[in-house]
Structure 1
Amino acid sequence: MPRYHLHVLSDLHALDREGWELPNLELALREAVQGARELIAASILAGEPVCRQHRIEITDTEGEHLSTVRFGDLVDLRP
């Protein structure tokens, strides 16, 4: 089963050294979206700002970039 690394790139970079064994990139993307939403929610609950440029980058075991989940793409603010 392939291994995907979900690196959180924000004010403090958190590199995923172990990775996740997942059957495909689609499930890795779902994990990244869920993780990003949890980080966004934690920031909001703590009264901290959410930086729309923060992101989770997905790479394979060789470090090849496969996809990016940007926090700004997950937040819909309406008037």
Structure 2
Amino acid sequence: MNPMQKAINAVGGRTTAANLLGISYVAVRKMEAKGSLPRTDYTGETNYAQTLASNSNGLITTDWLMDKANPKHHTVAA
């Protein structure tokens, strides 16, 4: 299970995550498939990690998700 799958499951699934984050179900599915947060969470434009952690009933933390779901760790070889 990748970190995004764990975070999404912790808040109750894709639909709940989409509602919490104010984004589409498809956008959540893409983050889950990539296993990483979008770049915007690391530039301060969004706070998805914080929102997911705050609604996870203590199953994940913001720091853990920011570390484990960093897109730099999930680059695809060409």
TM-score, normalisation: structure 1: 0.32
TM-score (norm 2): 0.32
Looking at CA atoms only, which structure, 1 or 2, has the larger radius of gyration?
1
Larger strand percent: 1
Greater helix share, 1 or 2?
2
